[in-house]
Amino acid sequence: MRKERLIVPVVVALAVVWAVAQYLASLLFERELVRALADLEARGELVTERSEVERGWLGSSGVVHLSPVLGDGWRLELTYSARHGVFSTRIEGGFHPAIGPRQLHLFGDWLPSSPPSWHARYQTLGGTLEGIIQLAPFLISQGPRELDFRGGQLSFGGQQGDWRLRARLQPWRLTDGVATLESGPVSLESHYAYTAGAHHFTQRDLLRIDQLAWQQPGLALEASELVYRSRMQLDDSELRIDSELTLAEVLAAEQVLLTGRVAMELSRINADGVREALAGLRREAAKARELAPRELIARLEPELRATLVDSPRLDLTEVDLESPMLGLAARGDGSLFFDPRRLDELSLARLDDEEERARWLTRIDGDGIWREVPAVVALWLGLPLGTRDLELDVIRGRVRVNGRPMPPLWR
């Protein structure tokens, strides 16, 4: 009898524990979703909203709206339906992008394909999310134009402060009459790590295109193994961007037209200026009014000029390009610097004026070298035939080659 009397309170206690755990799981899911959207918006590039939100112990649903801070070029709606468990939450939904001022749906209005679906799982204890978006194949024709897309997959995962994205697109082909562009497979790996409010962040991207081919009557180009790497970092002092493009080879008429590597770095962009400019951009976007680009730049000019106070620097850290077909090669490096003195004399909003562009050019200085320059290039620049290296100097926007003013490139 004593054991039988214990059954009821044990069952009640277990039910209470389950209910509390279920309630906490739904609260944690909602909290992490709100934080993730806030982090996306803190980056300064997107506006995030939610609609049709329903919250419950056993399930939640809603629609997440993503759009650029300025402009109406695109909009993305992510529908979600979450089933909460004590230890994990399973999420399913749809992926609905819209493009253009009329916000026509990409899948349905533009493409004869159903919207991609996505599903994910959120681990309650670890706070991690892992998900997949499937892209279905489709074929679209419009007169002589045809796009044949063979599908792909996007996977994402991570937790607050550390997210990863992997994309894999199968080969696709675009035909326009007698011209054809083919690409793929294409892969992208992206890693974004950040502190609260995106005050600091680091983003690494790796894009790889296995094949890229262009064909038309009289011309056929085929590139293989195009690899682009980039690293963007915002810290206490500066925004720095390192990038590298590697090209295995470009073939024309079954000969190697181009091969090689280019690496560059943009640095010394004032970090506080970047954060102030992004905050100003968000303020202007929140006013929900259309501004011409020139008017917007004029409003944000103090913040944009503040990004230049540390003398931004562009370094071509390595150029190593070769064209066996043409018998040419380019190997060298160089740097350009911006003079930030008397910034109030310059105007970004008036850059379409020739005189204003000339003022900005006078703030550019730098130097570089082209090693083992081909003889044909030396002759083209009016230099002696035996010239081995080109020493380039940029002084207040004017280029000198081996101590001489740069001659006109087009005569």
Q: What is the spatial distance between Cα 111 and Cα 77, in angstroms, rounded to a whole number?
A: 17
Q: What is the spatial distance between Cα 177 and Cα 146, in angstroms, rounded to a whole number?
A: 9
DSSP state of 407: P
Question: For residue 52, how many other CB atoms are within 10 A of its CB?
Answer: 8
pLDDT at 114: 73
Q: What is the spatial distance between Cα 396 and Cα 27, in angstroms, rounded to a whole number?
A: 60
Question: For residue 104, how many other CB atoms are within 10 A of its CB?
Answer: 11
Q: What pTM, to 2 d.p., does this model score?
A: 0.84
pLDDT at 411: 52
Q: What is the spatial distance between Cα 31 and Cα 28, in angstroms, rounded to a whole number?
A: 5
With a CB cutoff of 8 Å and minimum separation 6, the contacts of 129 are 32, 120, 121, 122, 123, 156, 157, 158, 159
Give one DSSP letter per residue of 91-160, joined into a string.
EEEEEEEEETTTTEETBTTTBSSPPPEEEEEEETTTTEEEEEEEE--EEEEETTEEEEE--EEEEEEEET
| Tokens 């790996």 found at | 189
Are the C-beta atoms of 44 and 278 separated by less than 8 Å? yes
pLDDT at 8: 56
Per-residue pLDDT of the chain (411 residues; tens, 9 = 90+): 455 555 656 555 555 554 555 667 677 778 888 888 888 777 777 888 888 888 877 788 889 988 887 767 788 888 989 888 778 889 898 888 887 777 777 777 677 667 888 899 988 878 888 999 888 888 888 778 888 888 889 999 988 888 999 999 999 999 988 899 999 899 999 999 988 778 899 999 999 999 999 998 888 899 999 999 999 999 999 999 999 999 999 998 888 999 999 999 999 999 999 999 888 887 877 775 566 677 888 888 899 999 999 999 999 999 999 999 888 889 999 999 999 999 988 988 888 889 999 999 999 999 999 998 888 888 888 888 888 888 999 999 899 988 888 877 655
Are the C-beta atoms of 189 and 157 separated by less than 8 Å? no
